[in-house]
Structures are given as structure tokens and as C-alpha cells.
């Protein structure tokens, strides 16, 4: 019995027995043997939330709780992430963008507001690249440069080539993957105390992807270049970047040069949308109000 069939059966039983709310989650087979877990909440203008490298729908808990009251909010675990199928093929952002397009088609969504976090922005940019700017109403990228690795001094990137290759080396084993995400979350993602409970929640999400998947996505993400697409979005759609404070001095001039029409908001760490949801949600609400 497939994951999709099991989910539908569970939904039917819950509705019949009156035990708790109906499930918002379901599965879409994006290709034979590959089921994508997604959630579809609320009604209204669709907002599509795409998690970053090895993360899941759980990171958007505060956005779902707020925006599903007034909007249709869709999010998903990309292939080989979370509850979706772990697959040998397609662990890259070209495929992830194509999977996103299939999900949007499956749900009958037209012109969504696309919101990507970190490497999730690569999937939203890929979606626009293959579908055109006419396929979206607006685009928000949370804390990622369209050029994650360039080797050029002064560019907004994910770090030096040595830093990027060091993390790639680190995630080659299960222990290395957990150690890497522990360090990254404590030093880059989260500003509050990184308690054992918070560490377990973050690290358990990331490590649902096997180390070889994490390494494949890390390499694919850093070798991506969506500057042309980001410029096209900047010229034709409402566009916004939300940037962590540690990137501000580099990101602001980079974005002013390449995407001058885009709004830029700077605060918090890499996971500021989760850590400071009230502030982030006000920014997203103001952004969405431009097109409503």
C-alpha cells in the first residue's frame, strides 16, 4: 500500500470517527517510486513555502499557523527530505524545481507567492526559470544569494570555497552530518541558546536525509547560479530578500547592484523566520499585501 493510499485512509477514518482534525498532509507521486509529502492549508491567495537544505515542512510552523487563517499555504518535504521518498536520483535543485512545478499543477495552483528559505530559493528560482515570471505573483528569498559560490571577492556567497568544501567533507558520514548541522545551527542559524531540545528538533529534521543525500544537495546548491533568473524576477515581479545580520555588509551592496528593485530586510540569523516569527510574518504580510 502506497504512502498516498495510507494517508487518504487515515484521513477518512479520522473524519468518520471524529478523532482530531482532518489531516492537511498528503503525498504526490512525482515519478515512479518517488512520493513527495506536502501540506495544503487554508484558502485564498496561495503562498508556497519551500524549506532549505535537508529540512522539512516543520520549519514553517509559525508561518502556517498565521497565514493559513487568511491564505492558502502550501509546503512540502523535497525528495529525499523528511517524509518524502529517499531516492538515488534527482537530489539537486533543478529536479526540486521541477518537482515543485508538478506539485503546483497537481494542486491546481495559479500564480502563487513563492517563498524559499536558503537553498529552497534555488527551487523557487528554478520554478520561475522553467515556467517564466508569469507563473508566479511574487518571489521572496530568505537568506540566500543567487550565486552561492563564485570565488570572487566581494560577492555574496555561502562562504569561501574552503568553507564550502569543508562542510561537504564533513557530511560524508552520519556522525559528520549531525556534527555539521549542530555547529551550523548553533553558530549561523539560531541566535538564542541552542538547548538540547532545540538541537534535537533541528538535527533530527536534517538527518532524515542520509549523508550522501546531504552531500549531493550541498554540492548541487553551491554550484547553482540563478542570477539571471533573480534579475528577471526583480524586473517583472514584486521581489524581496530577507537577510541574516551576519551577511548584511556583503548582501546589501550585492543586491543593490544586481536586484535593485527588490526589498531587502535584515535581521536575526539564518533561521530568523522561525526564531522571530512575529517580525518575519509582518514582513511577509506586507509583501503579500502588495498583490492582493
Confidence of residue 3 (pLDDT cuts 50, 70, 90): very low
pLDDT at residue 292, as a whole number: 83
Helix, strand, or coil here: 53? Answer: coil
57 Cβ neighbours under 8 A, 6+ residues apart: 25, 37, 38, 39, 49, 51, 64, 75, 76, 77, 82
pLDDT digits (tens, 9 = 90+) for 13-22: 333 333 333 3
Q: Is the model's pTM score more than 0.75? A: yes
- Segments making up each domain of the chain, as ranges: 3-289
Q: What integer pLDDT is reported at residue 24 of this predicted model? A: 75
Q: In what order do the strands lie in the sheet with 46-50?
A: 25-31, 34-41, 72-77, 46-50, 113-117, 138-142, 239-243, 263-266
Quick one: pLDDT at residue 85?
A: 98
Alpha carbons within 13 angstroms on the beta-carbon side of residue 63 total 30
Mean pLDDT to the nearest integer, 223-249: 98
Please provide the CATH number assigned to the domain covering 3-289. Answer: 3.40.50.1820
Stretch 81-92: mean pLDDT, rounded?
A: 97
In contact, 220 and 229? CB cutoff 8 Å: no
User: pLDDT digit string (tens) for 173-205?
Assistant: 999 999 999 999 999 999 999 999 999 999 999
Amino acid at each position: 500500500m502506497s504512502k498516498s493510499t495510507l494517508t487518504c485512509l487515515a484521513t477518512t477514518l479520522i473524519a468518520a470517527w471524529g478523532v482530531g482534525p482532518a489531516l492537511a498532509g498528503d503525498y504526490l507521486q512525482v515519478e515512479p517510486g518517488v512520493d513527495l509529502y506536502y501540506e495544503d492549508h487554508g484558502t485564498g491567495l496561495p503562498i508556497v513555502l519551500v524549506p532549505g537544505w535537508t529540512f522539512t515542512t516543520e520549519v514553517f510552523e509559525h508561518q502556517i499557523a498565521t497565514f493559513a487563517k487568511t491564505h492558502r499555504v502550501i509546503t512540502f518535504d523535497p525528495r529525499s527530505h523528511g517524509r518524502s521518498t529517499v531516492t538515488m536520483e534527482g537530489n539537486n535543485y533543478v529536479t526540486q524545481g521541477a518537482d515543485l512545478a508538478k506539485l503546483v499543477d497537481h494542486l491546481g495552483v495559479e500564480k502563487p507567492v513563492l517563498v524559499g528559505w536558503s537553498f529552497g530559493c534555488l527551487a523557487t528560482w528554478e520554478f520561475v526559470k522553467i515556467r517564466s515570471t508569469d507563473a508566479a505573483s511574487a518571489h521572496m528569498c530568505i537568506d540566500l544569494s543567487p550565486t552561492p559560490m563564485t570565488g570572487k571577492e566581494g560577492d555574496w556567497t555561502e562562504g569561501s570555497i574552503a568553507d564550502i568544501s569543508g562542510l561537504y567533507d564533513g557530511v560524508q558520514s552520519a556522525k559528520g552530518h549531525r556534527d555539521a548541522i549542530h555547529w551550523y545551527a548553533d553558530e549561523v542559524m539560531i541566535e538564542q541558546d541552542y538547548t538540547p531540545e532545540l538541537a534535537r528538533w533541528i538535527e533530527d529534521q536534517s538527518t532524515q536525509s542520509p549523508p550522501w543525500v546531504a552531500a549531493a544537495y550541498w554540492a548541487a546548491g553551491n554550484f547553482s547560479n540563478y542570477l539571471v533568473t533573480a534579475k528577471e524576477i526583480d524586473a517583472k515581479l514584486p521581489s524581496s530578500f530577507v537577510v541574516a545580520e551576519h551577511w548584511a555588509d556583503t548582501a546589501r551592496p550585492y543586491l543593490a547592484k544586481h536586484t535593485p528593485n527588490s526589498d531587502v530586510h535584515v535581521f536575526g540569523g539564518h533561521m530568523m523566520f522561525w526564531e522571530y516569527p512575529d517580525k518575519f510574518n509582518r514582513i511577509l504580510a506586507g509583501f503579500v499585501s502588495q498583490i492582493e
